[in-house]
Amino acid sequence: MREVVLVYLDRSGGLQKFVHDCKKYNDSKQSYAVYRFIISINPSDIAELDATLGNYILHNPLQAAQIFQSVCFVAIKTLSLIEQLQTEAQISILLKPTHLPPLPSYVLSLSAYPFNYTSQRFYMSEGIVIAMGTVTKYTQGARFLCTEETCPFSEGRFRCIRVHCPGATESATVRTDFVCSLCSSPLQEDMKFRVLGDKQIVEMIDAKILNALKGYSIDKSYFRIQAFTLFLR
């Protein structure tokens, strides 16, 4: 599947964009714990190259991103695109599909029952924004060092880093109770390597509520509007 990923990136122009993004990181004077890349993918084109990979991207996007991560790391090291990069874990890949299959199973509808949305895969959702919060910062990645000076993980290498994953809370990336996996001593964040991003909280209601507001509701005694929250990062 790694070979298919490389072929697709080359054919779709994604590899050229990736090289350009790497150049911006390499030319920057800022130090990064995590290098974040957004890769646009067309599920249909990938499925034509390899059906297994296409299905993997649609239904296991977090695991599929690890395959792209491995390919991108090899490309960076082979072409010497980012001199500061040390480990594969420093690369954060966000897969951004251009579209999803026009099938009911790919539509997220909170007005339907039961709510069988336990899998961490892509869904489409259509709704009406009723409230928006202000844009704030969140931590995309951070580096931690062991507080025990004799521990190898206390050195200035990127052995202990935390990367934000979709669906994770802020405390999963940054908090004060992390311990070293080698000696169990407390870890301390190296603040100069923290990578920040923008996030915004949005309140939405299902688009089907428009029919109810027009008077199409069959039984108004069971009529209820329930908003849901989106985190835009």
Model confidence over 33-86: pLDDT tens digits?
899 999 999 999 999 999 999 999 999 999 999 999 999 999 999 999 999 899
Residue 138 CB burial class (10 angstroms; 0-12, 13-18, ≥19): middle
Q: What is the DSSP letter of 160?
A: S
8 domain-assigned? yes
What domain range includes position 3?
1-99
Both tokens assigned to 117:
């949305």
12 and 93 in a single domain? The answer is yes
Q: How far apart are CA 47 and CA 68, in angstroms?
A: 15
- What pLDDT, on a 0 to 100 scale, did the predictor assign at position 22? 94
Q: Choose the final residue of a domain: 99, 120, 146.
A: 99
Instruction: Tell me the one-letter amino acid at 150.
Output: T
- What pLDDT, on a 0 to 100 scale, did the predictor assign at position 21? 94
Q: How far is CA 43 from CA 34, 48, 225, in A?
A: 26, 9, 34
Q: How far apart are CA 65 and CA 71, in angstroms?
A: 10
Q: What is the pTM of this model?
A: 0.85
Per the model's pLDDT, the better-predicted residue between 206 and 11 turns out to be 11
- What pLDDT, on a 0 to 100 scale, did the predictor assign at position 217? 55
Both tokens assigned to 69:
């991560």
105 domain-assigned? no
Which CATH number is 6's domain given?
A: 3.30.1640
75 domain-assigned? yes
Percent of the chain predicted with pLDDT > 70: 92
112 domain-assigned? no
